């Protein structure tokens, strides 16, 4: 018997099979040979929500959820957060290697060249109601860019792909800032290419009548670090959406719009906004115990707690806590921090949370930092999307160039009626 094989005996037929094991997996299609009769379709796996299914081979991001490890292209996330800029990390995710100084200059110049929005896209944004949720505006505007760059549909042209990737990364902060300023009826601020990626974003967000807005360097760097932490996270819900939609060879704008839609849900990127709502509902440190009790009784969830992959701790949350201290040294403490810390303390001691391995995730503290920096909660998920676009696009590029990938098309277990026939209206 081979060591890298799985021996299966089908008790229905007595037949035996040897299934190869590669990289700790078996191929689901190898199970198709396990049949009860020649016209049987063959054995399938059933895995709603992909709890135990690898959907691709990827060399971008490595996570060991039990050990709390996160690496981009082999580099530990804390080393990247400590030593690199967001655009440097974006280059790494997209190209596989960290850039040289000359490569970084060229990449940053490429991004800066593409930060402007077509004036018609600006008008498109203006069509939204003043109180439209920025995530809805972002998703729609990204999808609309597909009409501005129709050549993006040539997804098999590598140079064309790179151009669209750069455009998308460059335009995310501009779209976000315009969404924000639209809400307040403020004039849009055009990108300023003398500034870094995050300084330019802050300038487009917050410049008022002062001749020159100067972003606080500690806050600009904190934002850069938060962007690094959110840049990729392997096959999460939105990345899986990006790959699934992109697998039909849809253009990258509509595919990113779909991924952003997946991100907007409260169980995914929408959680950072929900954390702030939850802290508002709790209201004060004294109410934490009662709130936790309600959660344990089945009334809602502790937003910002739990993760499908991390069952020990989320390494991003640890870096975020450090970043929070730096931000608060500039902005003063966010009063919600006290409630958050008490919530974390109580939950980490409570058997319900310990047993289920529920720890604070990246979203638990990011919202508190964003709020202290001056961002409104409705913008938090958009702030997650700005850097995550890099991960989506790196994964999309990997998928498009992977000869094994085909259009994503799962199977189902049909549970509906057997064939039946339409009755006349009067007889129903």
Q: Is residue 230 within the footprint of ligand CMC (CB under 6 A)?
A: no
Q: How many residues bind ligand CMC (CB under 6 A)?
A: 20
Residue 108 CB contacts under 8 Å (≥ 6 apart), including other chains: 87, 197
Verify binding: residue 391, ligand CMC, rule CB under 6 A.
no
Q: Which of 15, 158, 267, 330 binds ligand CMC (CB under 6 A)?
A: 267
For residues 275 and 362, give the distance between their C-alpha atoms in angstroms, rounded to a whole number. Answer: 11
Cβ atoms of residues 43 and 34 within 8 Å = yes
| Minimum distance, C-beta of residue 235 to ligand CMC, in the bound complex (Å) | 11
Query: How far is residue 378's CA from residue 23's CA, in Å, rounded to a whole number?
Result: 42
Asked whether position 354 contacts ligand CMC by CB under 6 A, the answer is: no
Q: How far is the CB of 352 from ligand CMC (least distance, A)?
A: 7
Q: Is 279 in the site for ligand CMC (CB under 6 A)?
A: no
**183 in catalytic set:** no
Tell me the closest approach of the beta carbon of residue 251 to ligand CMC, in angstroms.
25
Strand partners, 64: 69
Least distance from C-beta 413 to ligand CMC, angstroms? Answer: 20
Active-site residue, from 363, 402, 417, 418: 363
Query: Which secondary structure element, helix H or strand E, spans residue 379, and what is its range?
Result: none
**Which residue's Cβ has the minimum distance to ligand CMC?**
306
168's tokens: 């998308």
Tell the smallest beta-carbon distance from residue 368 to ligand CMC (Å).
14
Stretch that binds ligand CMC, among 3-11, 304-312, 325-333, 402-410 (CB under 6 A): 304-312
Write down the catalytic residue from 230, 307, 314, 350: 307
**Region for 298 from its dihedrals, namely left if φ exceeds 0, alpha if ψ lies in -120 to 50, beta otherwise:** left
In the residue annotation, 363 being an active-site residue is answered as: yes
What gap in Å lies between CA 104 and CA 83, rounded to an integer? Answer: 14
CB atoms near residue 229 (< 10 Å):
26
Characterize 395-422 residue by residue with b for buried, 16 or more Cβ atoms within 10 angstroms of its Cβ, and e for exposed.
bbbbbbeeeebeebeeeeeeeeeeeeee
Nearer to ligand CMC, 107 or 353 (CB): 353
Stretch that binds ligand CMC, among 85-93, 111-119, 221-229, 358-366 (CB under 6 A): 358-366
187-209-222 Cα angle (round to 5): 85
Catalytic residue among 230, 232, 268, 314: 268
Residues serving a catalytic function are 268, 307, 363
């Amino acid at each position: 018997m081979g060591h890298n094989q799985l021996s299966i005996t089908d008790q229905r037929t007595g037949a035996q099979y040897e299934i190869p094991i590669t990289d700790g997996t078996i191929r689901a299609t190898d199970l198709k040979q396990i049949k009860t009769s020649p016209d049987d379709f063959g054995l399938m796996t059933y895995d709603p929500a992909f709890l135990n299914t690898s959907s691709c081979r990827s060399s971008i991001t490595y996570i060991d959820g039990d050990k709390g490890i996160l690496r981009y292209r082999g580099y530990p996330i804390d080393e990247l957060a400590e030593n690199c800029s967001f655009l440097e990390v974006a280059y790494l995710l997209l190209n596989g290697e960290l850039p040289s100084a000359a490569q970084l200059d060229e990449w940053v110049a490429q991004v800066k060249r593409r930060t402007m929005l077509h004036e018609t896209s600006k008008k498109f944004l203006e069509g939204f109601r003043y109180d439209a949720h920025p995530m809805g505006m972002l998703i729609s505007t990204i999808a609309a860019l597909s009409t501005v760059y129709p050549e993006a549909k040539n997804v098999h042209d590598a140079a064309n792909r790179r151009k669209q990737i750069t455009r998308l990364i460059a335009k995310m902060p501009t779209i976000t800032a315009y969404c924000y300023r639209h809400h307040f009826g403020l004039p849009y601020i055009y990108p300023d290419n003398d500034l870094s990626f995050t300084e330019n974003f802050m300038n487009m967000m917050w410049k008022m009548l002062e001749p020159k807005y100067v972003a606080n360097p500690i806050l600009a760097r904190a934002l850069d670090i938060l962007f690094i932490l959110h840049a990729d996270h392997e096959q999460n819900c939105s990345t899986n959406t990006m790959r699934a939609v992109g697998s039909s060879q849809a253009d990258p704008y509509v595919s990113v719009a779909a991924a952003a839609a997946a991100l907007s849900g409260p169980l995914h990127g929408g959680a950072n906004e929900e954390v702030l709502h939850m802290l508002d509902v709790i209201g004060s440190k004294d109410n934490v115990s009662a709130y936790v009790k309600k959660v344990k009784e089945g009334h809602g969830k502790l937003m910002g707690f739990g993760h499908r992959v991390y069952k020990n701790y989320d390494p991003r949350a640890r870096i975020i806590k450090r970043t929070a201290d730096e931000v608060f040294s500039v902005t003063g403490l966010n009063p919600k921090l006290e409630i958050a810390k008490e919530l974390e303390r109580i939950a980490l001691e409570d058997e319900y949370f310990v047993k289920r391995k529920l720890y604070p995730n990246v979203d638990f503290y990011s919202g508190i930092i964003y709020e202290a920096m001056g961002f409104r909660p409705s913008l938090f998920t958009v702030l997650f999307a700005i850097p995550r676009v890099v991960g989506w696009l790196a994964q999309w590029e990997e998928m498009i160039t992977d000869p094994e990938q085909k259009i994503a098309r799962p199977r189902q277990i049909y549970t509906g009626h057997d064939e039946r026939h339409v009755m006349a209206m009067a007889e129903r």
